Amino acid sequence: MMKNNVKAIFLFFLILTIAFMPFADQEKALFVTASDELTEADLEASATLHEKLNVILGDERLDGTVTGVSVRKADTGEAVFSQMGDTRLHPASNMKLLTSAAALETLGEDYQFTTEVLTDGKVKGKVLQGDLYLKGKGDPTLMKEDLDQLALGLKDQGISKVKGNLIGDDRWYDDIRLSMDLNWNDEPFYTGAQVSALTLSPDDDYDSGTVIVEVMPNNKQGKKAEKAKVKLTPETDYVDIINKTEMVPENEKKDISIEREHGTNNIVIEGKMPHKGASSKSWVAVWEPTEYALDVFKKSLEENGVQLIGDAKVKTGKTAKDATLITAKKSMPLKDLLIPFMKLSNNGHGETLTKEMGKVVNDKGTWDDGLKVINNTLDGLDVNTDTILLRDGSGMSHKTVIPTEELTHMLYAIQEKSWFNTFEKSLPVAGVDDRLIGGTLRDRMKDKETKGNVKAKTGSLTGVSSLSGYVTSKDGEKLIFSIMINNYLGSSVTSIEDKIATVLAKHDFTE
């Protein structure tokens, strides 16, 4: 009891003392003292938004970090809180906010990618006499079923045999597969998949350039039962499975690793799989996705009654100038693509959109040209581009930097755009279980004040965590916020971000 009385007296004199300081000194004093003395109970008792946020920012997990926070009113753009708001920080996947805004402004909500099938030959009877081209124009949502549909497009035109080569054309973009700052140990995984204008996604999460590897118990008898079963989606001969697994009794613990060897398509599977154990599944990035898409298209042709005959070769190359279009497939529009991109934080989409903007604006499907387009677009969205550095479109780079205040400037400015509703709809929504609504926030901030209210993009890299978006306060004031925490060590700091968003949701500006 005595301890609580002392703390209450301390808080009273703290606020009284600070009230007579100049405003700038008040904020500094609150930050220093609150971090050392105030508790969660004090947080609720704090009178102002500044006090509440400074208490949270005094968390010892932030010791040694660089943490930027910017909060402003959505209707006027007025800044209501800033800590190191003008300090350039790594945004992690908050970079996707910039890429999405630039793509909507540059390409438009209804923009679609195209995949084409062409030939430089002629049809004689049921035989296509000439080469067949599969030309990719960047579609990151292309799936096996789409290749089946393209194969049926040939069949519907009476073609059942192709006397010529099958050629994959990915020259819509350049041949640089990985962004300049991608860590080498990210490269085998879906988060660091290679980017090609001709690529393939294994399911409707649309992780382009990947194959799903599923490891399951093997219930066969004899030597064939000594190793676990492996299934690929889609089925392809392009990758080589090196199965080093061991089937063990059902009471033993499962321990399975799935990893592709760097620079190859050897996927090594090791470990123990118990009988009746749960399957293990991994999305593995392939090496050179163009040839992967080409291999699966060849299977689609065969499965749908179109055969390659003669000395046909399957290879990559350039579509002949005199080639004519046989059939084509358009992707979903950009407004729909933004859902898996933003909700699930799909890195491949960020890089593909970057190259596509470069191709559409400058006729160069490169990272350099795409990043120039993003930078120039942001210049017109109230971002001071002199104080930012962009290195990729997904946020995987540890060299991309932007201040939180510039991000909230952009989030304020884009509210007047015709495409803003599409942008806002793409943001993860706190506490909503549906992964295509809640996205990466579906398991966070489930309290009544924040569930369905906080709409924001998450971000995470080693030592980096971020959260930026929109929230409505208790009295109906819509707020824009950006939080970037850099150089943290140890345990997760997402709960700190959640506390800040929760305070904003609970705050009443009329009191």
Q: Active-site positions?
A: 93, 96, 345
DSSP label at residue 342: I
Region of 209 (left: φ > 0; alpha: ψ -120 to 50; beta: rest) is: left
Tell me which amino acid residue 26 is. Q
Euclidean distance between CA atoms 284 and 262, whole angstroms: 12
Phi/psi for 242 (5° steps) reads: -110, 100
Euclidean distance between CA atoms 35 and 219, whole angstroms: 59
Give the relative orientation of helices 95-106 and 404-413 as an angle to the nearest 10 degrees. 30
Q: Is the dihedral of CA 491, 494, 500, 502 positive or negative?
A: negative
Rounded to 5°, angle at Cα 285 from 263 and 248: 95
Residue with tokens 């995949």: 115
Rounded to 5°, angle at Cα 62 from 61 and 68: 150
Phi/psi for 380 (5° steps) reads: -90, 5
Rounded to 5°, angle at Cα 385 from 379 and 386: 140
Region of 478 (left: φ > 0; alpha: ψ -120 to 50; beta: rest) is: beta
Q: Is the dihedral of CA 116, 119, 125, 129 positive or negative?
A: negative
- Strand blocks (E) in 94-203: 114-119, 122-124, 127-129, 132-136, 161-163, 166-169
Give yes or no for a contact between 474 and 507, defined as CB atoms under 8 angstroms apart.
yes
Quick one: how far is CA 183 from the chain centroid? 16
Quick one: how far is CA 316 from the chain centroid? 28
DSSP label at residue 292: H
Helix (H, G, I), strand (E, B) or coil at 494: helix
Burial class (CB in 10 A: 0-12, 13-18, 19+), 244: exposed
Other Cβ atoms less than 10 A from the Cβ of 3: the count is 7
Q: Which of 442, 421, 423, 444 is nearest to 433 (CA)?
A: 442
Residue with tokens 């933004």: 338
Region of 372 (left: φ > 0; alpha: ψ -120 to 50; beta: rest) is: alpha
